[in-house]
Structures are given as C-alpha cells and as structure tokens.
Structure 1
C-alpha cells in the first residue's frame, strides 16, 4: 500500500509564533527540528501498522523546504520543493491508499486557533458551493476527488474539529490547545510524538472505515483576496470574474481538481506586487 503524509508547520506542537515558521526569522531552525520529529513519529506509526507500506512525505509548509532530509526516517520518500503538482499534496495519485495531515492549522477566520490562515495571508476565504474551506477542507476534498481518504490529522484543537466536521470518522490528535492566534498550551514534545505514533497506527489499521471526502461538480467557487492588485490579476485568468464587494473573485469549476488548481494559482498570483 502507498501512504502520503502531508506535513505543515503551524500545527506542530510547541509552535505558536511566525518566528518559528518563517525561514527568515530567528527561531525557524528549532521549528524545523520539531516538525521533522513529528513527521518521524507518524511515519513510525504507519509502519507499525503496515510494515510493507510505501510512505511518501510531502513537505507542505511555505517554501516546501522545511523538513530536515538527513533527519527524516530513512524508510520514507521525501517530496520537497515547489512549484509541483497538487501543492501540499505532492505525490498524491490514484494509487494512494490513505492521506495523513500532520501539523495542520485552522482556516482563516477560524478561532481561537494558532496561526490560522488559508494558503497565505493574501487569501481571506475560499467558498466552494457556499461552504468555507481552509487548507484542511481543500486538501481533504482534493484527496477525496481521487478516491483517497484523509484518515488522520494533527494540529491544535480547532484544526482537529475542522476535520471532524468534514470527516467524522477520521482520527484526530490535538497536539496543543489554542489560546489565540499566537498562544497555546501543549504537552511535552516527547509525549506528543508518542501519541502521534499510536494514532497513526490506529488510523492506518482502520482506514477502510473512513470514507473519502467528495464534493461533486460543477462547483461555484468564490475567493476573497486581501489585495486589490491580486483581484486585478485574477480577472486575467479565463473564467474568473470580479464579484460584488471589490475583493472577491468567482469562477465555476467542472470538478474539484479544477477548483483546487485554480485556487493554487490565485495563491501564486497574490505574490506578485505592482512594478
């Protein structure tokens, strides 16, 4: 069997501040160590349950170059760098049997939640068929589009509740309790890693009981953008139009894969600044 572990950073236990997740800030190297250790705990749990599993690990935070390759469990394959197909789910395909989301955070507007946002600070909200989806929902639905269930998520308590609302039978591990956007209370990292290893084994063992999250098309999608310049750029994309309110763009996607890829494009357009 093939398993994909997508690892973000804001939902790692002990991390509460951008200085721990930003490569240009002083505490980032410590954040990388914590992130890699939690990824290793989940890899170990997957292989406890299925020793013959092929495990792919997608580095899914920021530049997609955060996990320490030399410290990662040598039994795993590391998907690293960007741009790449399917972004945070790099390595996902129809042959994947299960996805595990590690270190994930709540959507923009969710809270209290540690470092909550959706894809970037430039994306204020993504609504698919009228339902607000953050990175958790977008990635779970993209996996579901290929028939793959998300069987586990770790992050703060708000992130865990977000997945349970979408996939009630998935395993969730609250590695910290959010007190606000930049504050939380958490157990010792070693305790968290033990919990993650047990939970990953449990999730893989009962993956057949977790259905994929499917959102059938065609889909009306609205994206609220922070910058008016990004709105201007987005309307250059065929099929994308300016909606009411000045900061919202809208489009119709034939299926979820098209919606997902266009949202990824909007995230990249948001990095372009006026000349």
Structure 2
C-alpha cells in the first residue's frame, strides 16, 4: 500500500512539474530585403535581377542568424513574416522546422501579419529608411512605385516606425532592427532601447559600403542575444488615437482616386489626409490604395 501510494504521489508531482513548465516566449520577426547586407540595386531585390537568388540566400541567412540569437537566450516560439515583394522571398526550407512563416499578399496586417498580444517582442530584419531620407538605400514607405511617403500624426514614418506603431497597438515592443545606418537610427529614435545592427553605410539610393554577409549575420546574432536580455523592460511604441494619416502619391491621379474614399480628402495635388481609428484600419486602407490598377 505504501509503495503504491509513493508511485501515485511521484506520478502526481511529475504531472504538476510538467504542467508548471513556462511556455517559451514568442518573438515575431518581420523580414524585408532592401536592408539586407549586400543589397543595393534592383539586381538584388527584384525577381528579374541577376543576383536575386543570392539575395534570397542572404536574407534567409540573416533570418536564421536572428533566430539563433533569440534562442541563445532560451527557448522561443518564432513567427517569421516574409515582408518583401510578393511575400515569398525567404527560403523556407532552410529555416528551423519549428518556425512558422507568413507568406504571400494581400493580408490584413501587411508586414506585421501574424502579430498579436501574445508576443514578447518584434524584430525587424533587412529594413530600409523612408522615402524622404537623403542617401538611404532603396528608401521608401509601403510602396516604392506608388507613394511619396506616409505621415502618422504629422510625423514622416519609415516602414520600421510604421511597423513599430502597428506592433504597439498590440502592446508588443520592438527589440531589434537591422538595415543601413539610416534605417536603424530611424527606428531607434522611437524605440531607443532597441538593439540594432548596421550592416551597410548608405551612399545613395543605389550605393552603400556593405559588410560581408557573414559579418552582417554575426552582428544580427550578437545583437539579438543582447536584445533578449532586455525583454520585460522594453516598452511598446504607442501613438495617439485617432490617428491623423497623410499619404503622398507619386501620380496625381492616384491622389485623386484616393480622395474618393470616405474619410479621405485631398490636401494638394499629391497628398490626401484623414483621421482613422487605429493602425489596423490604416494598414488595410493603404493596401487598397497602393493596389489600384495603374492608369
């Protein structure tokens, strides 16, 4: 009887021990290509470019470096959001098999699809600066073909700042960003505690002094390891709501058509503005405005 009771007690304690194990933290990685080490011209980020295949390899390796840095600090559930071009640039068969990947467009949260309140941190890999950043490599916001820029509550934003605001709506802080110097410093202005990896010094829209892919990956891995030590102290980037949105279009006819949308009005030939409830609402709207058929 005593032996049987001991077995029952041992089994019960074992079950309690298993149940008490903390769930691994969740980290969201949004990966773009223009800010990847070595990427400077359409030859790399565009499917027609002669180095596109190599750029996909560099991008995938930087995502893997980020995953390694995150997991150096302990177990983590990771979602990777492929946020470049058609959303199918990361070579998914080269990622760890327990990672989940968001692919393809359109999707409601664009570069941050898949994020929610359960994530401990957001990580931006291969990000670039905004349209109006002089000398930024491939600088643009949301659409390099259609938009002159995006302002939130009067502030010109890069995709990094935009994504940080979207993450902030869910209470998720930015822990890390990689890209050229301008891309990194723009994000760190609104998230000063975020770690960063500057993988190239920008000279212009199509020129930079870049590190080698191996060195860029090392900086990302080391930076993420440091960033994970800050979890719990990082603060989400929250912007005032309702949000005053201003969007600039390269084609005046795009601004003209955008002003047909309820809630938007034209402020001049190229710009429209309006007030919206939150970042989710704005993100869905911008996807529609940038996907209209070209005249």
Do both share a fold (TM > 0.5)?
yes
Is 2:270 the partner of 1:273? no
Contact residue 216 and residue 256 of structure 1 kept, 8 A: no
Q: Report if aligned partners of 1:151, 1:204 keep a CA contact under 8 Å in 2.
A: yes
Shift of 1:209: 2.0
Looking at structure 2, the residues matched to 227 and 126 of structure 1 have their Cα atoms a distance apart, in angstroms, of: 15
Picking from 84, 89, 110, the partner of 2:112 is: 89
Equivalent position of 1:174 in the other structure: 198
Deviates more, 1:128-137 or 1:253-262: 253-262
Question: TM-score when scaled to structure 2?
Answer: 0.88
CA distance in 1 between counterparts of 2:241 and 2:197 reads 31
- The correspondence for 2:254, drawn from 230, 235, 254, is 230
Map of 1:3 onto structure 2: 27
| Equivalent residue runs for 1:90-169 within 5 Å | 90-121=113-144, 122-169=146-193
CA distance in 2, matches of 1:19, 1:167: 32
- Give, in whole Å, the separation in 1 of the partners of 2:235 and 2:259: 36
Match among 203, 214, 218 for residue 190 of structure 1: 214
Quick check: 2:110–2:283 contact (8 Å CA) kept in 1? no
Q: Is the 8 A contact 1:114 1:182 kept in 2?
A: yes
1:48-87 deviation digits (Å, cap 9, x = unpaired): 1122x11000000011010111122323111111111201
Task: Report how far residue 255 of structure 1 moved.
Answer: 2.4
**Cα distance in structure 1, aligned partners of 2:288 and 2:135:** 28
Contact 2:132-2:140 within 8 A present in 1 as well: yes
Paired position in structure 1 for 2:92: 69
Residue deviations 1:120-142, cap 9 Å, x none? 12111111111111211110000
Q: Which runs of 4+ in 1 moved over 6 A?
A: none
Q: Is contact 2:129–2:182 with CA below 8 Å preserved after alignment?
A: yes
SS of aligned partner of 2:291:
helix
Structure 2: gaps spanning 5 or more residues: 1-24
Aligned to 1:117, the other structure's residue is in SS state coil
Give TM-score scaled by structure 1 length: 0.94
Shift of 1:205: 1.9
Q: What is the SS of the residue equivalent to 1:44?
A: helix
Q: Which runs of 5+ in 1 are unaligned?
A: none
Larger radius of gyration: 2
In 1, Cα distance between equivalents of 2:62 and 2:131 = 24
Count how many residue pairs are aligned between Structure 1 and Structure 2: 270
Could you say what secondary structure the match of 1:91 adopts?
coil
Q: Residue 285 of structure 2 aligns to a residue in which SS? A: helix
